[in-house]
Amino acid sequence: MKSSLSSFDISAAIKSPNSFATNKISFKYIDAEKTGVVFSLSARLGSAVERNLFKRRARQFIFKQLNNKTAVFIRPKKQLKTIKNPIKHFKLFQEFLIKKQK
């Protein structure tokens, strides 16, 4: 898989002190050799269809919109059906990263 992260990057992203959170999604991130996404989505957050849709949207945004090499750990705080527009949360995360780089 082209978007696979090493186990070291996955572990580091999960334990990272670098974080950002909206009211419905929390993000942790590290600088990595390549861009990647790690998810924590339990069945209580929604059906398999909802979880897969969320992961597809997140991957698409991270790989197409973030132009830096960042490993991102994404964990929704609320059930996925209550997150009407996850792209809005991803854009807030992107803006945070841009401000952080300056």
- Total domains present in the chain: 1
**CATH code, domain carrying 76:** 3.30.230.10
- In the chain, the percentage of residues whose pLDDT exceeds 70 is 95
The pLDDT score that the predictor gives to residue 51 is 94
Q: How do residues 51-81 score in pLDDT, each as one tens digit?
A: 999 999 999 998 888 767 888 999 999 999 9
- Is residue 41, in this structure, part of any structural domain at all? yes
Query: Exposed, middle or buried: residue 82 (CB in 10 Å: 0-12, 13-18, 19+)?
Result: exposed
Residue 20 has pLDDT above 90, yes or no: yes
- Is residue 2, in this structure, part of any structural domain at all? no
- Is residue 1, in this structure, part of any structural domain at all? no
* Domain range enclosing 45: 7-101
- Is residue 14, in this structure, part of any structural domain at all? yes
Q: How far apart are CA 72 and CA 38, in angstroms?
A: 6
Residue where the block lists tokens 């830096």 = 68
- Is residue 59, in this structure, part of any structural domain at all? yes
- Is residue 20, in this structure, part of any structural domain at all? yes
